[in-house]
Homo-oligomer: A and B are copies of this chain.
């Protein structure tokens, strides 16, 4: 079989998640690392004809003025990852990928993100339609230049503030018309990237809590263009544990009285989240699932705070106060010390492989079976991790059978 050539287009191409995803991809291609952390490498999925690591060509959008090599070294200095040993083997590829990275947009991304952007990006005076056109041109050039059979767009950029969506139309036609208005709707950058990709028929994955493709109108666009999308907010640490532990409490009929989660870390994501409005998007995404799993709403508290010294090492402390037999209160606490972008990066690669496979198998619209990867999966009420994971394994079984 001729080698497939698949584009992986990262929005936020020089952020921590992207840097680790790119480094990991190179290391996997070169056999410098193993399958750890990659869901798609589980034996469960070995019969699927998933894309191989060598199939991928990387490009992306980025708003900051920094080289990929420098971004990687900065991450190394602040957080100790990726390891110097691996980094030193990736330089040539970094330089090659650098050529495929284009300036992104900060339109409606809020002041905190705007401040991160290069002067050139900030200075652009574009309206909604012209931004979308520019992004599409970048995607098409990338596809053409590298003769790619597919380009999959993944949003791993910083979290935008929440967007009021109640006055936005539910249909693509209506939304599309608004994009031409001189005073168009408050459509955040993440959604403009989504529209740009999906309108070209390219899959779009929203790994962040930003709005992205979560509007009904944009879902309609995906279906009209017969392509796929999914989101939102990768489930990597504390929330993953919530979706694992809460079902246990539920199935043992132990009543959770309160669940408090404090998260501290010091990467750029947390710096952006330190702005109260951007943080709101994240906390909403982290806090809602307990009620859905338990069937009642316990007291909850979630905080995310920027502590520079921790770099990319997100440390979470959760305190779970529950009541058992004879109404006796008991306590479970956990601490999680994980490297945030390294937990996220392999999931980005997994999502791209699964989305690529699903699309080839004819899927259209949002990809429910990927729910286990997200804190707030599009169109899926189920928040129990293992129930979500069953959807993934069932999908794999069915695909193989066909």
Chain A interface residues (CB < 8 Å from chain B): 20, 23-24, 27, 33-39, 41-42, 80-86, 240-241, 244-245, 247-248, 251-255, 257-258, 260, 262, 264, 299, 301, 303, 305, 307-310, 315, 317, 319, 321, 323-339, 342-343, 345-346, 372, 385-386, 389
- B319, A315: Cβ atoms under 8 Å? yes
A/B interface sample: 11 pairs, CB < 8 A: A36-B255, A36-B326, A39-B251, A81-B328, A244-B248, A258-B307, A307-B321, A317-B333, A324-B343, A332-B335, A333-B334
By a CB distance below 8 angstroms, the chain B residues around A336 are: 331-332
In the docked arrangement, what's the CA distance between A20 and B258, Å? 25
- Tell whether A307 pairs with B260 under 8 Å between CB atoms, given A326-B27, A326-B83: yes
- Tell whether A308 pairs with B303 under 8 Å between CB atoms, given A254-B36, A338-B330: no
By a CB distance below 8 angstroms, the chain B residues around A251 are: 39, 42, 372, 385-386, 389
Q: How far is the CB of A378 from chain B (nearest CB, A)?
A: 21
Report how many copies the assembly holds: 4
In the docked arrangement, what's the CA distance between A219 and B379, Å? 48
In the docked arrangement, what's the CA distance between A383 and B323, Å? 25
- A264, B301: Cβ atoms under 8 Å? yes
- B319, A264: Cβ atoms under 8 Å? yes
Contact of A329 among B86, B309, B323, B345 (CB under 8 A): B309
In the docked arrangement, what's the CA distance between A111 and B251, Å? 39
By a CB distance below 8 angstroms, the chain B residues around A258 are: 307-310
Contact of A326 among B20, B334, B338 (CB under 8 A): B20
- Tell whether A262 pairs with B303 under 8 Å between CB atoms, given A319-B315, A325-B20, A326-B83: yes
Contact of A386 among B80, B310, B372, B386 (CB under 8 A): B386
Q: How far is the CB of A324 from chain B (nearest CB, A)?
A: 4
Q: How far is the CB of A232 from chain B (nearest CB, A)?
A: 19
- B339, A248: Cβ atoms under 8 Å? no
By a CB distance below 8 angstroms, the chain B residues around A337 are: 330-333
Most chain B beta-carbon neighbours within 10 Å: one of A245, A325, A334, A343: A325
Nearest B-chain residue to A83, judged by Cβ: B326
Contact of A253 among B33, B42, B323 (CB under 8 A): B42
Contact of A310 among B20, B321, B342 (CB under 8 A): B321
In the docked arrangement, what's the CA distance between A360 and B231, Å? 48
By a CB distance below 8 angstroms, the chain B residues around A385 are: 248, 251
Nearest B-chain residue to A37, judged by Cβ: B325
